[in-house]
Amino acid sequence: MSEDHTSNAPIPDTETDHQSLPARRTAFRGRGNPGVAGGVKAVAKAMQISAAEMGLVRGARALLAVNQKDGFDCPGCAWPDPAHRAMVEFCENGAKAVAEEATTKRVTRVFFARWSLDELGTWSEYELGKQGRLTEPMVRRAGARHYTPIAWDDAFDLIAEHLNALDSPDEAIFYTSGRTSNEAAFLYQLFVRQLGTNNLPDCSNMCHESSGTGLGESIGVGKGTVSLADFDQAEAIFIIGQNPGTNHPRMLTVLERARRRGATIVSINPLREAGLVRFKHPQDVRDMLGGGTRLAELFVPVRINGDVALLKAVCKVVLEHEAERPGQILDHAFIEAHTEGFEAWREALATEDLNALAVESGVDEAMIRQLARIVVEARSLICCWAMGLTQHKNGVANVQEVVNLLLLRGNMGRPGAGACPVRGHSNVQGDRTMGIWERPPAAFLDKLGQVFDFEPPREHGLDVVESIEAMASRRAHVFFAMGGNFLSAAPDTNFTAGALTNTRLTVHVSTKLNRSHVVTGAQALILPCLGRTERDLQASGEQLVTVENSMSVVHASRGRLPPASPHLLSEPAIVARLAIATLGQRSSVDWASLTDDYDRIRDLIARVVPGFEDYNTRVRQPDGFVVPNGARERRFDTEVGKARFTIHPLPHIPLAADQYLMMTVRTHDQYNTTIYGLDDRYRGIYKHRRVVLMNADDLAAAGLREGDEIELRSHFEGEVRSAYGFVVVPWELPTRCIATYFPEANVLVPARSFADKSHTPASKSVVVSIHR
């Protein structure tokens, strides 16, 4: 097999060739933060994009089936569905996600004959995604500058040839996106482990891995502990490092209901986001005609990565309240019966100075005391969070400090209280349950081997960060992605691009074109698959698939639209045919029969995965079923059998006089790396994505004005990375903190800067300087 990689697309000197480029650069327009989410504009935007991408009739048919009990799961976020569905059970961004997948636009062989890899490499992420649905398998042959059609059998034979030629299965990497169904994920991990490796990195590695690690160590389960019903009983809800108005919009209806019955909602975030300022429920006439509902009662502008200091400070003040009213504040019975390490933790906290914690967090002592009073007075508290906590070097510590706060007053395993990491992609949690993990527990491997009569590999595999390094150092030669846009999602865009071009073969199972198809190995395949919105017809008839949402509810999803092309395969079918071509007689699994009828896959899952007994019957119940979660019952499956108080040092990132701490965020017109449009309506920024949100005083001190074009340079262990063509925008942010959009700014995130234990890239703790 050829080792010649010189035919690949060259790595240019500037980073812009490998990050999401501006769509034919437009003038920046900023109009200020509108301060309200939802309302008429959200409805209008949803209808506009639906009509443009799907047409009126097709669009209505698709949207009325979203998140319904006999319909399909939204391909966007993992927020759970209510027990009682409305006729319209989707948000603005959910409508955008459906429209992107169910678009009537098509990418055919004619398109690939017209456009070379070199030309496509100059297109923005937005322009690539807007071309439409992929329609047939395509191959980029060694030395070719264009993709050309390839038959499915020939595609699988090509992959099998590469995999079977490796010196070790560990020289292959199998990535998974969070949109993959439980059935596809289970087959995928089974194939990979029968091949002989645990190299199963996934998108969790880049987002909530810190949550899973932190929760697993402290409460014995790497998932949240609350249900949707708990939000109707909570007296206080803390939203930490999360922007639900853009990333999980349906959450706003739950928060609105909580606020109207008197719950206190607190936003802890460097940015004041419109979704938590005021919300107009699109299905509530009172909201639409009136001013909407004010959601957050308190905004806490914590400094970027000041969360450990802030949470320690709040806990310290809670302990002060306990000292003033002994036995009336802390839940001593819970602490004694269900936790470990409290006394050591309290002694360590006593050594911290409250004023120093306030300075480090960027939050004044009066506001800290206000926060603590809310904790003390609320009989039940839910803490929600997202990547604002997880994507730091101390991401695991951030999560465990949240747990410390919850444990103090027994806010774990009882109604209206608990931990709520809000996941992104619709089935990212289910994929992990199905075994998509580079570090699988021994019990899972034991059961997998027993049911399928083979010895699974035991050595831990590579996560995302380690996979990039393995490809960069030519220790990994094949990269296979089940969904996603790995290049744009990963950190250190140029380094990751170079790593991918080092491989012999890259394969992407995809619905639409993205940047990862443009930067390839010596050979490359694009395998088009069915989308969540489409009917999946196999030998036994129409199939359903299943997913697990953020609150551990497993439910069915049934596509309703005809497939975009007769040449598409389902993800389970792709995995099965790949396994047949690659493993041959080495596998005793009847792969073909499993894709004839997905009930057979679920029967096997039921034999391997705890909590999935009688899977096929239970998932056909209208609301599915809930995966067991010991922490919900105050059963903590840690090494000590109890929830654990944990002690963490105070993180401190030194900044030179001309440096700032940068975090990456989404716009309202995107979902992960999918760019729906070029506006960020909730922040009042239009027609531009390469922007830097910056404190007005910092802007003045640097001699900059709104709209000035600058270069960003990130600094890490003597290395400097640059990104060009950004414009500055004054914004309400703590001083010395700035925010930029991803994936445009991912080029500045070093691949070797990641969270302790979880290896989550530190995309929200990037030291940068600004240059004209």
Residue range 267-291: mean pLDDT, rounded = 80
Q: How confident is the model at residue 451, as a pLDDT?
A: 98
- Listed in sequence order, the residues at least 6 apart from 771 whose beta carbon sits closer than 8 Å to its beta carbon are 710, 711, 712, 713
The pLDDT mean for the chain works out to 92
Tell me if residue 118 falls in helix, strand or coil.
Answer: helix
Mean pLDDT of 446-450: 98
Mean pLDDT, rounded, for 532-543: 96
Task: Please list, in sequence order, all residues whose beta carbon lies within 8 angstroms of the beta carbon of residue 390, skipping any fewer than 6 positions away.
Answer: 207, 208, 209, 210, 211, 241, 398, 399, 421, 755, 758, 760
Give 34's pLDDT tier (boundaries 50, 70, 90): low
- Position 8 confidence tier, pLDDT thresholds 50, 70, 90: very low
Closest alpha carbon to 546 in 535, 529, 532: 532
Q: For 658-771, give the CATH class.
A: mainly beta
pLDDT tens digit sequence for 179-229: 899 999 999 999 999 999 999 999 999 999 999 999 999 999 999 999 999
Give the integer Cα–Cα distance in Å for 206 and 633. 29
Residue 12 has pLDDT above 50, yes or no: no
**Inter-residue contact 249 to 37 (CB < 8 Å):** yes
Q: Is the pLDDT of residue 357 over 60?
A: yes
Return the pLDDT at 37.
77
**What ranges do the domains of the chain cover?**
35-101, 209-421, 658-771
The confidence band for 69, taking pLDDT boundaries of 50, 70 and 90, is: confident
Least confident of 100-104, 264-268, 378-382, 469-473: 100-104
Looking at domain 209-421, which CATH architecture does it have? 3-Layer(aba) Sandwich (3.40)
Lowest mean pLDDT among 272-286, 532-546, 550-564, 720-734: 272-286
Alpha carbon distance 408, 734 (integer Å): 29
- Mean pLDDT, range 741-749, rounded to an integer: 97
Instruction: Find the mean pLDDT for residues 477-481.
Output: 98
CB 97 within 8 A of CB 249: no
> What's the pLDDT at 32?
53
Least confident of 204-218, 348-362, 675-689: 675-689
Lowest mean pLDDT among 45-59, 109-123, 287-301: 45-59
Q: What residues contact residue 688 under an 8 Å CB cut-off, 6+ apart?
A: 22, 26, 27, 28, 29, 678, 727
pLDDT at 28: 54
284 versus 77: which is more confidently predicted? Answer: 77
What's the rounded Cα separation, in Å, for the pair 98 and 149?
A: 27
Helix (H) / strand (E) element for 340: namely strand 339-340
CB 500 within 8 A of CB 506: yes
Q: Kind and range of the H or E element at 158?
A: helix 152-164
Residue-wise pLDDT tens digits, 392-416? 999 999 999 999 999 999 999 999 9
Q: In a 10 Å sphere around its CB, with 0-12 CB exposed, 13-18 middle and 19+ buried, how is residue 181 labelled?
A: buried
Is residue 1 scored above 50 in pLDDT? no
Residue 288: band (very low, low, confident or very high) from pLDDT cuts 50, 70, 90: low
Q: What is the Cα–Cα distance from 84 to 106, expressed in whole angstroms?
A: 36
Write out pLDDT tens, residues 20-29: 454 444 445 5
Whole-number pLDDT of residue 339: 98
pLDDT attached to residue 388: 97
Least confidently predicted of 40-54, 191-205, 464-478: 40-54
Enumerate the β-bridge partners of residue 240.
268, 385
Q: Which residue has the higher pLDDT, 147 or 9?
A: 147
What would the pLDDT profile of 121-156 be if each residue is shown by its tens digit? 999 999 999 999 999 999 999 999 999 999 999 999
pLDDT band at 17 (very low <50, low <70, confident <90, very high): very low
Average pLDDT of 680-685? Answer: 91
Tokens read off for 307: 């969360």
Predicted local confidence at residue 31, as pLDDT: 53
Six token digits for residue 356? 């120093």
Confirm if 601 and 101 have CB atoms less than 8 A apart: no
Helix 307-324 and helix 354-361, axial crossing angle in degrees, nearest 10: 150
Q: What is the pLDDT of residue 18?
A: 55
Q: How would you class 683 by CB atoms within 10 Å of its CB: exposed for 0-12, middle for 13-18, buried for 19 or more? A: buried
Which helix (H) or strand (E) segment holds residue 58: the answer is helix 56-63
Model pLDDT, residue 234: 98
In this prediction, residue 491 carries a pLDDT of 97
CB of 206 within 8 A of CB of 464?
yes
* β 264-268/670-671 pair status: unpaired
Q: What is the mean pLDDT of residues 590-607?
A: 98
Dist CA 9 CA 13 (whole Å): 13
- Interatomic CA distance for residues 189 and 183, integer angstroms: 10
Percent of the chain with pLDDT over 90: 81
